[in-house]
A = this chain, B = another copy of it.
Amino acid sequence: MNEPEIHTTDYEAALREAGVRITRPRRVILGILADMGDHPDAMEIFQRAVAIDSGISLSTVYRTMKLLEGIGAIHRHAFAGGPSRFEPAVGEHHDHLIDIDTGDVIEFQSDKIEELQNEIAHRLGYEIVHHRFEIYGRKRKKR
């Protein structure tokens, strides 16, 4: 009964800790977050939520995402010209490669980057809070 998986209850615990109420809409959204493998935007999360409980409003999705972002449970990614996309802040930090033709988001992880950011921030007299490394690329066609 202690799988290394993420469950709604983990988020609930985090929320309780943050001193907020576990309401019906929040439980639904938490459930969606728990098993999303992609990086949906607020509207997409809203649609999934409505499919589960038609009474949920888009405002609540936005409010909940902001709340979760505030307690560090999710990360927000801002893309130029589009809505923010979210992903659970769970496990190892990773970065993204965005396919500029298809919009696909590929995750990758590199210890060197983690090192590098520390080195650079230190050199500039800063303490890192977080970083973002995104590569925008196009699939290399095999020939």
Contacts and interface: CB of A to CB of B under 8 A. Distances in A.
Contacts of A125: 139-140
A76 B112 CA distance: 26
14 contacts: A78-B79, A80-B84, A97-B124, A100-B129, A108-B123, A112-B112, A122-B140, A125-B139, A126-B137, A127-B139, A127-B140, A128-B136, A131-B136, A132-B133
Interface residues of A, number: 38
A53 interface: no
Nearest to A137: B126
A117 B116 CA distance: 12
Interface string A78-94: 11110010000000000
